[in-house]
């Protein structure tokens, strides 16, 4: 009989004779690999998922002229150029804004020119009552902040005569809706950007641009933009981007801690089970040594058993891990977690390393068995 065939038969026999012990070790590896593979799958998707969650809180980058710049406006096309720097899939939305003061029946009010079609992307938390015209070429409609509308009695359908405080230029607009943000926007009037540019004689210009970008490296991207556009300043909105970074760091740390705990628990369980099997097989091991088996061959046998357990446990654990990742994704992000092929080799190698390390102490016991002492009296 060939050595390889005999070796395989010995492994099969070992598993058959010690089913309960093997199942305990196998179960520990399955649980360990399932949790680790599930967490790693979530970890790979965490930046995307958390990024999309944070985008619901609004823009995370703002573009303005530098304080040294003589002009307090810039071409609105600049915002489009800067948006093109980022990967297209990372750009949730962006808008150019133009601010100005108007008089309405002797009252001084703030008017903001913006792109209405970008409001759901840049400020999705705004509560809008009524309708807004998302056509950038449309003219003559405005959204009014909730507090301002209540204070001055503006309602949907009210016609407002806007007069530029500087030039005296006038334009009549109709209120089509109100917005509620809980901030300064509740006391402002929002108009189509093209209308604002015409009203304030700032054709093609803007005061600020807001970007909602997912992914990492916003600080580095902002630095690169500032170097290429010396009269412009692109900076992260710290309240949003800072919270996003802190939250991602905390979640990453939590994943690391849980993975380490699971690895140690699996290592301890497998090592204890392997040690118990060595104690149960002392006479068998001693007899093999008497028959000429070398420590190297005996060690290879135990390591092979551990390796088979690791591979079988990994195969089952990866399946359960994928479903675990979906449960986490639906519970936390209300979306599925992508399957990551990179998780398979990573978890497999980890399981083999854990099984190998768990076998080290039992192997020392195998090597230390003295046939004369164990078989004495047999």
Separation of alpha carbons 176 and 178, rounded Å: 7
Res 1: pLDDT: 53
Res 342: pLDDT: 87
Cβ(225)–Cβ(213) below 8 Å: no
Closest of 116, 109, 168 to residue 142, by C-alpha: 116
Helix (H) or strand (E) holding 235: strand 232-236
C-alpha Rg value of the chain to the nearest Å:
34
Res 198: pLDDT: 93
Q: And the tokens for 128? A: 């809008």
Separation of alpha carbons 290 and 372, rounded Å: 9
Res 62: pLDDT: 87
Res 52: pLDDT: 54
| Domain residue extents for the chain | 3-53+244-376, 60-236
Sequence-distant (6+) residues with CB within 8 A of 127 are 179, 180, 181
Res 54: pLDDT: 53
Closest of 114, 6, 125 to residue 59, by C-alpha: 125
Any idea how long the chain is? 378
pLDDT by residue for the chain (378 residues), tens only, comes to: 566 676 677 777 767 767 777 888 889 899 999 999 988 888 877 766 665 555 455 678 889 998 777 778 899 999 999 998 888 888 889 999 999 999 998 889 999 999 999 998 888 888 999 998 888 888 899 999 999 999 999 999 999 999 988 888 899 999 999 999 888 889 999 999 999 999 999 999 999 999 988 777 777 888 888 888 888 998 887 655 555 566 667 777 888 888 889 889 888 888 888 888 777 777 777 777 777 777 777 777 778 888 888 899 999 999 999 999 898 888 876 778 888 888 899 999 999 998 888 888 787 877 777 766 667 655
Helices 3-17 + 295-328 axis angle, to 10: 60
- Alpha-carbon 261 to chain mean position: 22
Res 377: pLDDT: 53
Phi, psi (rounded to 5 degrees) for 217: 75, 30
Cβ(213)–Cβ(179) below 8 Å: no
Question: Nearest-5° angle of CA 38, CA 40, CA 43?
Answer: 115
Separation of alpha carbons 152 and 142, rounded Å: 15
Separation of alpha carbons 344 and 268, rounded Å: 23
Burial 193-225 (b: 16+ CB within 10 A, else e): bbbbbbbbebeebbbbbbbbbbeeebeebbeeb
Q: Is this model's pTM higher than 0.85 or not?
A: no
E strands present in 181-224: 189-192, 205-206, 208-213
Res 242: pLDDT: 54
DSSP symbol at 335: S
Cβ(109)–Cβ(148) below 8 Å: yes
Distances (CA, A) of 343 to 97, 140, 346: 44, 55, 5
Separation of alpha carbons 57 and 336, rounded Å: 21
Within 13 Å, how many C-alpha atoms sit on residue 182's CB side? 6
- Max CA separation in the chain (angstroms): 114
Res 148: pLDDT: 93
Q: And the tokens for 353? A: 């390393």
Q: And the tokens for 350? A: 């980890």
Res 364: pLDDT: 80
Q: Alpha helix locations (H) across 229-342?
A: 238-280, 282-290, 295-328
């Amino acid at each position: 009989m060939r050595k390889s065939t005999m070796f395989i038969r010995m492994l099969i026999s070992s598993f058959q004779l010690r089913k309960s012990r093997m199942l305990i070790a196998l179960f520990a590896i399955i649980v360990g690999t399932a949790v680790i593979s599930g967490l790693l799958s979530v970890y790979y998707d965490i930046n995307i998922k958390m990024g999309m969650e944070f985008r619901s809180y609004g823009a995370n980058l703002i573009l303005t002229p530098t304080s040294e710049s003589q002009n307090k406006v810039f071409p609105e096309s600049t915002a489009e150029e800067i948006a093109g720097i980022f990967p297209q899939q990372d750009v949730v939305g962006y808008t150019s804004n133009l601010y100005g003061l108007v008089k309405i029946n002797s009252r001084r009010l703030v008017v903001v020119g913006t792109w209405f079609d970008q409001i759901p992307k840049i400020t999705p938390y705004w509560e809008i009552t009524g309708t807004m015209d998302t056509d950038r070429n449309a003219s003559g409609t405005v959204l009014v902040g909730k507090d301002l509308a209540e204070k001055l009695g503006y309602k949907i359908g009210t016609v407002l005569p806007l007069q530029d405080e500087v030039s005296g230029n006038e334009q009549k607009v109709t209120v089509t809706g109100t917005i509620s943000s809980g901030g300064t926007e509740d006391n402002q009037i929002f108009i189509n950007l093209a209308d604002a540019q015409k009203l304030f004689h700032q054709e093609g210009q803007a005061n600020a641009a807001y970007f909602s970008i997912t992914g990492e490296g916003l600080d580095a991207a902002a630095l690169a933009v500032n170097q290429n556009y010396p009269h412009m300043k692109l900076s992260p909105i710290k309240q949003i981007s800072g919270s996003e970074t802190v939250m991602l760091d905390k979640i990453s740390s939590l994943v690391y801690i849980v993975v380490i705990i699971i690895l140690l628990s699996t290592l301890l369980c497998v090592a204890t089970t392997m040690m118990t099997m060595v104690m149960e097989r002392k006479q068998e091991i001693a007899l093999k040594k008497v028959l000429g088996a070398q420590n190297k061959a005996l060690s290879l046998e135990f390591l092979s058993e551990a390796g088979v357990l690791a591979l079988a446990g990994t195969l089952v654990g990866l399946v359960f891990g994928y479903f675990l990742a979906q449960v986490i994704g639906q519970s936390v992000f209300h979306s599925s977690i992508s399957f990551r092929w990179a998780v398979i080799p990573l978890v497999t190698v980890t399981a083999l390393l854990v099984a190998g390390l768990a076998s080290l102490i039992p192997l020392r016991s195998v090597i230390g068995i003295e046939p004369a002492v164990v078989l004495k009296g047999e």
